[in-house]
Amino acid sequence: MDEVDVPQADVSSVPLTFGDSVVLLDVRESDEWQRGHAPGARHVPMGDVPARMGEIDATATLYVMCHVGGRSQRVAQYLARNGYRPINVSGGMLAWAGAGRPVVTDDGGVGSV
- List the catalytic residue out of 66, 80, 93, 103: 66
Query: At 104, is the secondary structure helix, strand, or coil?
Result: strand
CB of 49 closer than 8 Å to CB of 27: yes
d(CA 98, CA 29): 20
15 as an active site residue: the answer is: no
**DSSP-assigned states of every residue in 34-50:** HH-B-TTPEE--GGGHH
To 5 degrees, how large is the angle CA 106–CA 63–CA 77?
A: 120
Catalytic residues: 66
